[in-house]
Amino acid sequence: MERRILGGTGISVSEFALGTMMLGAWGTADHGAAARIVHTALDAGINFVDTADMYSDGESEVIVGKALKGRRDDVVLATKFHNPMGPDANHRGNSRRWIVRAVEDSLRRLDTEWIDLYQVHRPDPDTELDETLSALSDLVRAGKIRAYGTSAFPAEELVEARWTAERRGHVLPRSEQPPYSILARGIEADVLPTARRYGMGVLTWSPLSAGWLSGRYGGPDGADPGEAHRSSMLGAMYDTALPGNAAKLAAVTELKKVAADAGMPLPHLALAFVLEHPAVTSVLIGPRTQEQLEGLLAGAGLRLDASVLDRIDEIVPPGTDVVRDPTFHLPPALADERLRRR
Could you report the per-residue pLDDT of 14-37, keeping only the tens digit for each?
Answer: 999 999 999 999 999 999 999 999
The predicted structure's pLDDT at residue 231: 45
The yes-or-no verdict on residue 245 having pLDDT over 50 is yes
The yes-or-no verdict on residue 240 having pLDDT over 60 is yes
Q: Which residues of 201-229 are buried (b: 16+ CB within 10 A; e: fewer)?
A: bbbbbbbbbbbbbbbbbbbeebebbbeeb
The yes-or-no verdict on residue 124 having pLDDT over 50 is yes
Q: For residue range 35-61, what is the model confidence (pLDDT) as tens digits?
A: 999 999 999 999 999 999 999 999 999
Write out the catalytic residue numbers.
55
Through-space distance between the first and last CA atoms of the chain, rounded to whole angstroms: 54
The predicted structure's pLDDT at residue 230: 44
CATH number for the domain running over 3-213+265-339: 3.20.20.100
The predicted structure's pLDDT at residue 155: 96
Q: For residue range 272-304, what is the model confidence (pLDDT) as tens digits?
A: 999 999 999 999 999 999 999 999 999 999 999
Q: Would you place residue 233 in the very low, low, confident or very high pLDDT band (cuts 50, 70, 90)?
A: very low
Q: For residue range 298-330, what is the model confidence (pLDDT) as tens digits?
A: 999 999 999 999 999 999 999 999 987 755 667
The yes-or-no verdict on residue 339 having pLDDT over 80 is no
For the chain, what is the mean pLDDT? 93
The angle subtended at Cα 37 by Cα 78 and Cα 79, nearest 5°, is: 10
What is the pTM assigned to this prediction?
0.93
- Maximum CA extent, the chain: 60
Q: For the chain, which residues make up each domain, given as ranges? A: 3-213+265-339
d(CA 162, CA 173): 7
d(CA 341, CA 332): 13
Q: What is the dihedral of CA 201, 312, 293, 178, to 10 degrees?
A: 30
Sign for the pseudo-dihedral over CA of 36, 38, 43, 44: positive
Mean pLDDT score, 142-162: 97
Q: Where are the alpha helices (DSSP H) in 6-119?
A: 31-43, 59-67, 96-110
Q: Would you place residue 215 in the very low, low, confident or very high pLDDT band (cuts 50, 70, 90)?
A: confident
Q: Would you place residue 229 in the very low, low, confident or very high pLDDT band (cuts 50, 70, 90)?
A: very low
